[in-house]
Amino acid sequence: MTKVSAVLIAKNAFDTLARTLESVAWCDQIVVVVDGSSSDQTEEIARTFTSDVYVQDWLGYGKQKNVAISKARNEWILSLDADEVVTPELAKEISTVVSHSNVDGYSIRFETYIGEKLFRYGGLQNDWHTRLFRKDKGQFGGVVHEVVEVTNEQKLQGVIIHYSYKDFDHLMEKILTYSKLEAEVFVKEGKVLTLKERLRPVLRFVNVYFRKLGFLDGWVGFRHAYYLGYYVWNRNQQIAKLT
């Protein structure tokens, strides 16, 4: 029987990690790489589920995930963040497909929540990520928004539940963190703020709220679109400070 290793990275995730690990208890191996700067019970919680727990100083999102992959013993990797949950239907589907698969990876649709509210529109209704792949075929790249690319993949029917934001304050925390990182990469790559880049905050809002039907999510959809526009605005402000 083909075996699967679930691999995760985690930092200060005591309030979400147990739920995530419970959802992959069916996997043959669970690997958790804990950020060395974690200050809560993340490591202790991880060790109640698996002995494959490693403390690693932060290397960046992609590199941190690749460390987790390197610790896996099995052919197939199921990569998750500490706020993502595999549904029972997806777990069953994964167990079935890996036993007779002729592809290198699978893309899985995400259902994203803010608190208890599911985002149904604003681009998140079609949010797919490659999270199941053969160990020798996939590695993560990217400093800010890490991705794994495989040349031969299919889509699965099951979903991953992403408890991405506790509330809008939590979303803002993530925006401030990620936009700063993106600004640093932008400057490092020698890019400049063109007129289009300066207009992008407004364009992002229009795209999310109107073109991708964010308005159908009501007030939550408006705030989500506004915050994503603010993300780009803040990134531009950070770029200006660095140049």
pLDDT tens string 20-70: 999 999 999 999 999 988 999 999 999 999 999 999 999 988 899 999 999
d(CA 218, CA 197): 28
Instruction: Count Cα neighbours of 187 within 13 Å in the Cβ-side half-sphere.
Output: 14
For residue 1, pLDDT beyond 80: no
What does the block give as tokens for 30?
A: 């669970």
For residue 162, pLDDT beyond 90: yes
pLDDT tens string 184-201: 999 999 999 999 999 999
d(CA 229, CA 83): 24
Alpha helices in 55-207 (DSSP H): 61-70, 88-97, 168-188, 195-206
Q: Does domain 4-165 have CATH number 3.90.550.10?
A: yes
Element housing 224 (H / E) = helix 218-242
In this predicted structure, what is the pLDDT of residue 142?
Answer: 66
User: Where in the chain are the domains?
Assistant: 4-165, 168-242
pLDDT class of 239 with cuts at 50, 70, 90:
very high
The angle subtended at Cα 204 by Cα 222 and Cα 193, nearest 5°, is 145
Say how far residue 49 (Cα) sits from the centre of its chain.
21
d(CA 208, CA 221): 9
d(CA 107, CA 156): 6
Which of 213, 94, 205 lies closest to 157, judged by CA? 94
For residue 139, pLDDT beyond 90: no
